[in-house]
Amino acid sequence: MEEKIINDLGCPKCKGKMILRKKIKDRSGFVKSGKIECKKCKREYSIVNYIPRFVSKENYAENFGFEWLRHSRIQIDKFSGMDISKKRFYSESGWKEKELKGKKILEVGCGGGRFSQIAIDSGAKVYSFDFSVAVDANKENNGIRKNFNLFQADIYEIPFEKNSFDYIFCFGVLQHTPNPEKSFRNLIKYLKKDGKIAIDIYPKTIKNMLHPRYFLRPITTKVNYKPLYNFLKHYWVPFFLPISNFIIKLPHGRFLKKAVPVDNRTGTLPISKEMIKEWAVLNTFDWLSPKYDLPQSLKNVKRWFSEAGLKNADVCLNGLILGTGRK
């Protein structure tokens, strides 16, 4: 982390000012390890591998850290040679790259850093956090630099002062928190006046709730995520992926394949068979392992934006529920 970032931090518990102690810097001047202490409540937090840690390793998002440390580069545009993440970032947010330069952006739930890369490349000052150790995968993918700082933190106890950010985005995260509405409402507190927010969330529709994962999750969420991952990788995906590929070739196969409990990107991404298999393992695990998977109705999410008093709010269903607005 940059040493001066300590001035931006607020204690996640009491919002008191923070001080840096026992710091060890690298040759570039970045803080590699040390302690952060709240002046007010005296709580202390560690900096490990350049990343301030405001939560413990053991939490409900452990499975996400596990998966991103194993599939850290698969969704990163600069490694895949594709622009999937960039297109999704700008289409979902409705933002323009040139408007982000020099602005303070908070990324909520960064995972391995697929969207971090896009925000960094815009020239924005990016602050990214995740509840899990996926931040370590993000650090390996995007480094620590002057316009990018990583934190491991809780969406309900964000370690910054309120009204701090020009932009906040949260993609692929809210449905996996214990209370998606509460999570969303907490994010608004950290937007500056006229600041913009963009979120997405799984839709609660009949079509979506008939997805095979929702029939399997009552079983798979009771299994430790590590043996579940190994079972999916070595048995489940090798068995169901060929079946899905066969069904695709049938009349109406693109529709029928959705009944097969495996993620299959065949024909949707210009990637090799090995990469198709890796995507299948990652995304099928992502379906079945999270402790929380709480889709929301379009009506509900529109209410969130309305009750938050956001201006120019636009909430629509486009595969996912997409929501944007200005504080």
C-alpha 56/C-alpha 293 separation (Å) is: 22
Spacing of C-alpha 197 from chain mean position:
15
Residue 254's pLDDT band (cuts 50, 70, 90):
confident
Contact 256, 247 (CB under 8 A): yes
Percent of the chain with pLDDT over 70: 100
pLDDT at 58 over 90: no
Give the relative orientation of helices 273-288 and 237-248 as an angle to the nearest 10 degrees.
Answer: 110
Statement: the pTM of the whole predicted model exceeds 0.85: yes
Pick the closest to residue 132 from 51, 201, 16 (CA basis): 51
C-alpha 160/C-alpha 169 separation (Å) is: 15
Residue 57's pLDDT band (cuts 50, 70, 90):
confident
Which pLDDT does position 271 carry in this prediction? 86
Which are the contacts of 307, defined by CB distance < 8 A and separation ≥ 6? none
Mean pLDDT in residue range 220-245: 97
Which pLDDT does position 283 carry in this prediction? 97
**Residue 219, number of CB atoms within 10 A of its CB:** 10
Give the amino acid at 103.
K
Contact 144, 50 (CB under 8 A): yes
Pick the closest to residue 172 from 64, 324, 305 (CA basis): 64
**Residue 143, number of CB atoms within 10 A of its CB:** 13
Residues of the chain by 3-state class (helix, strand, coil), percent to 5: 40, 25, 35
C-alpha 195/C-alpha 313 separation (Å) is: 12
Question: In this predicted model, what pLDDT tens digit does every residue of 147-156 receive, in sequence order?
Answer: 999 999 999 9
Residue 269's pLDDT band (cuts 50, 70, 90):
confident
Mean pLDDT in residue range 219-235: 98
What structural domains does the chain harbor? Answer: 51-203+298-326 (3.40.50.150), 206-288 (no CATH)
Which pLDDT does position 253 carry in this prediction? 87
